[in-house]
Structure 1
Amino acid sequence: MSPNDAARAGSMNLKVLLPTEILVDKPVSKIIAEAENGEFCLLPRHIDFVAALVPGVLSFYNDDGSESFAAIDRGVLVKCGQDVTVSTYKGVTGTNMSELQTMIEERFLALDEHERKARTALARLEAGTLRGFLDLKEKFHG
């Protein structure tokens, strides 16, 4: 469907992009996503904008009225005309909202906690290394 066809049909072109694949590429009539300040809804005639997304479930309504879902990690949503593009590191599609919500909690949010712990450990290691260099400097130049 070309952008002009989508505009006439009252739909948007949704693409959800992962680093290694295109997860979703289809015309949709409505998109519900979640940013830091809460959920929002996009319809075909909404103004163009950009939003930073949090880990959550992206809901979208197909042109036939059926609802589909994609669990996504943090990402960026860009709406430009009838084209809506979501770029994210991780994502998976599904039809069961509760299964996808559980997957987000287990995979994406747990990874954020693991990453936070790893960064804390790295900061401690860096601080310890710097203290060691300062001790050596005082010992030899002190």
Structure 2
Amino acid sequence: MAPPSMNLKVLLPFQVFAEKTDVTRIVAETRDGSYGLLPRRLDCVAALVPGILIYETEADGEVCLAVDEGVLVKIGPEVLVSVRRATGGTDLAQLRETVEREFLALDEAERDVRLVMAKLETGFLRRLASFQHE
């Protein structure tokens, strides 16, 4: 009898980044820390933060991916990971540097843009409200 395993699919907005079968374990990073999945774990959903996603198969051994924020969904043996960006590599230190340099820096820029947009929207609504009262 074959040991239990999972099927992993890593999805990007416009493509499938990776699709693996016979995955024996998965470790992903959430806001509360690392989150491990084994084949017989109950179904779950987890919000992912930019970090390293690790999965293991008999054929490939342990594989590391740098992923941006997203969501992980486990339903039975199927595990779907949907993230904005992902990259693979062999050097764990290089992947960690990629996460810090590219994914987190872009998140800061997006936060700045959202803050500016919120200020513009607030100013517009104030002017519209004062215009309606005249």
TM range (shorter): 0.7 to 0.9
| Fraction of identical pairs, as percent | 44
1:21 aligns with 2:11: no
Q: Given the alignment of the two structures, is residue 108 of structure 1 paired with residue 106 of structure 2, yes or no? A: no
Aligned partner of residue 2 in structure 2, secondary structure: helix
Give the secondary-structure state (helix, strand or coil) at the position aligned to 1:9.
Answer: coil
Change in 2 beyond 3 A, CA 1:46/1:123: same
Q: Is the 8 A contact 1:49 1:79 kept in 2?
A: yes
Q: Which structure has the larger Rg?
A: 1
Give the paired residue count: 133
Structure 1 segments (4+ residues) deviating >2 Å: 7-10, 126-138
Higher helix share: 1
C-alpha distance in 2 between matches for 1:13 and 1:89: 20
Q: CA RMSD in A?
A: 1.9
Q: Residue 134 of structure 1: CA displacement?
A: 5.0
Letter of the aligned partner of 2:10 in structure 1? V
Question: How is 1:124-139 mapped onto 2 (pairs within 5 angstroms)?
Answer: 124-134=119-129, 136=131
TM-score by length of 2: 0.88
CA change 1:135–1:16 in 2 (3 A) is same
Structure (1 or 2) with the greater strand fraction: 2
Cα separation, 2, equivalents of 1:135 and 1:18: 44
Whether contact under 8 Å (1:11, 1:63) holds in the other structure is no
